Structure 1
Amino acid sequence: MSYPIIKRQPARQWMEAPQGVSGIPPGLEYMSSLDQLIVKQRVEFGEMLSGLEMRNKYDVLNSVGQQCYYAEEESEFCHRQWCGPMREYVMHISDNSQQEVMRVRHDFVCCVGCCWCATDSSCGYEIQIEAPVGNVIGYAKQQTSKWKPHIRIFDANRQPLYVVRGPCCGCQGVCCTDDVDFPIRDLTEQNVLGRMFKRWAGCGREMFTDADTFGVTFPVDMAINSKALLFGCLFLVDYMFYEQPKNNNH
């Protein structure tokens, strides 16, 4: 597959790029002063009216609502309609100069998602994360578990770095409007370093769209590559747990 350059759409006020930051992959300077990123999926009215799955688009914000990045999925039409989260896709992530600074890749794999056998190379969701484009900085992969979501984050040499686990039930509804938390821990799983979460979007959006809001928190002094890996993993959480139910509703 060949992927065209994605042009971001006009949006809210953009965060000003930090100055005097060196030794960081181009475009990731924004992350140097951040301890949180909020990812808001855009509502696709064509999807609401037609029931067809459109390419996902996201605004990425800092804690005060300024936009840091824009992300857009590139995928085949038929894959989106019939393959759900198993589809092949590339997430293009660009900064305020419309420069693509990160890329998240997911290859099509048939019959994945079973938590009991997910560690097998052919039976678990996996993404590859690049920053800048073409430079692989790591991976995030679904792991074996009895029931709860279990993801591990690896560096470019596939050495494990972090463990992400989720709740038994990640559902939200009128009677359950709290954030759904996915704590981020070190390899001992004794120390919580941050969290990924899905926010309650309100009855209308939850029932009729898959335009969700996610977030990730991490220590402000964490290495930039590690922040980028956790940010990239957030898209894996979205596709694994919050894409398929809405597609079925169509």
Structure 2
Amino acid sequence: MQAGGSHPIQYQPGKYPAPQHSAPIVWMPMPTVMPNCPPGLEYLAQLDNIHVLQHFESLEMITGFETNNTYDIKNNLGQMVYFVTEDTVDYTRNAYRTLRPFVLRVTDCMGREIMTMQRPFRCTCCCFCCPSTRQELEVQCPPGVTIGFVAEHWNLCRAVYSIQNEKKEDMMGVLGPCSTYGCGSDSVFEVISLDGVSSIGSITRKWNGVLSAMSDADHFEIHFPLDLDVTMKAMIFGACFLIDFMYFESSPPQRSSTHN
């Protein structure tokens, strides 16, 4: 397949298994290599918005057993851009649930891991305003090369994050709504400049009706300027997953161990 071709790209063998779908996957045409762009981020350089679609796990709802999350990343045409898989052991997922440390692996149409996102464990038993309890996500692209962090900041009324570079210098901010629990409406997290004056983009959790209320199969839409630095696009992309785990990753119901 030639770079930049107009034909749909079918999944090809790589290090990681192909995503499991009932219908053939149509991938976004592979872009040409770009100078000064981390390998695999050429896709983001061509886009000003993407959709993050979490897979619905019916077995998880029935059994209460927490499974690894999987996500499709698509453009506005419905073409696959990336596939994201959680890589966490069973014990960790089911012992720590939504607070679990995790690794997310982002793969492209060739099955190559082009980005890694990881959250360390943070104990929440201390005072909620203590720095050691605040959540943080590290983004690596390519895997092993840190390009930045998403850091939570304590705020009494709303979700507040900073998007940082590899030196942990603040580059942008993220402000969430005062409440993320409203039924029937989207939850918008605004990406803003450091001075709080300019709106750069947004991360919106779309309301999916009954599915939103009963499961953690979320749909996010991410907007950013087309000409935004591709590394910062990747960081906004990473912020979406930290937001998902912190506010929208509902634990499956636990089965009772007692019998009547």
Q: With structure 1 as the length reference, what TM-score do the two structures score?
A: 0.90
1:247 aligned partner: 251
What's the CA shift for 1:10?
Answer: 4.6
Q: Pick from 164, 169, 180: which aligns with 1:159? A: 169
Check if 1:236 corresponds to 2:242.
yes
2:3 aligned partner: none
Q: Deviations over 1:132-171 (max 9, x none)?
A: 1110000001102121001111000010011101111112
What's the CA shift for 1:44?
Answer: 1.2
2:178 aligned partner: 168
Check if 1:141 corresponds to 2:151.
yes
Query: Structure 1 stretches of 5 or more lacking a match?
Result: none
What's the CA shift for 1:46?
Answer: 1.6
Whether the 8 Å CA contact 1:26–1:101 is kept in 2: the answer is yes
Whether the 8 Å CA contact 2:83–2:107 is kept in 1: the answer is yes
Query: Structure 2 stretches of 5 or more lacking a match?
Result: 1-14, 255-260
The aligned length equals 237
Structure 1 Cα separation of the partners of residues 156 and 95 of structure 2: 27
Change (3 A) 1:20 1:109: closer
Check if 1:178 corresponds to 2:201.
no
What's the CA shift for 1:112?
Answer: 6.8
Q: Pick from 117, 120, 134: which aligns with 2:129? A: 117
Secondary structure of 1:27's aligned partner: coil
Runs of 4+ in 1 over 3 A off after TM superposition: none
Structure 2 Cα separation of the partners of residues 53 and 72 of structure 1: 14
Q: Pick from 127, 145, 150: which aligns with 2:160? A: 150
Counterparts of 1:177-216 in structure 2, within 5 Å, are 177-203=184-210, 205-216=211-222
What's the CA shift for 1:82?
Answer: 2.4
Check if 1:94 corresponds to 2:104.
no
Structure 2 Cα separation of the partners of residues 82 and 165 of structure 1: 30
What's the CA shift for 1:77?
Answer: 1.2
Q: With structure 2 as the length reference, what TM-score do the two structures score?
A: 0.86
1:7 aligned partner: 17
Structure 2 Cα separation of the partners of residues 71 and 102 of structure 1: 9
The one-letter code matched in structure 2 to 1:160 is: D
1:129 aligned partner: 139
Check if 1:49 corresponds to 2:62.
yes
Whether the 8 Å CA contact 1:215–1:234 is kept in 2: the answer is no
1:61 aligned partner: 74
Structure 2 Cα separation of the partners of residues 8 and 131 of structure 1: 20
Whether the 8 Å CA contact 1:113–1:125 is kept in 2: the answer is no
Structure 2 Cα separation of the partners of residues 184 and 42 of structure 1: 25
The one-letter code matched in structure 1 to 2:151 is: K
What's the CA shift for 1:105?
Answer: 0.6
Structure 2 Cα separation of the partners of residues 248 and 164 of structure 1: 28
Secondary structure of 1:70's aligned partner: strand
Which of the two has higher C-alpha Rg? Answer: 2
Q: Deviations over 1:46-75 (max 9, x none)?
A: 212211111000000112211100000011
What's the CA shift for 1:8?
Answer: 3.0
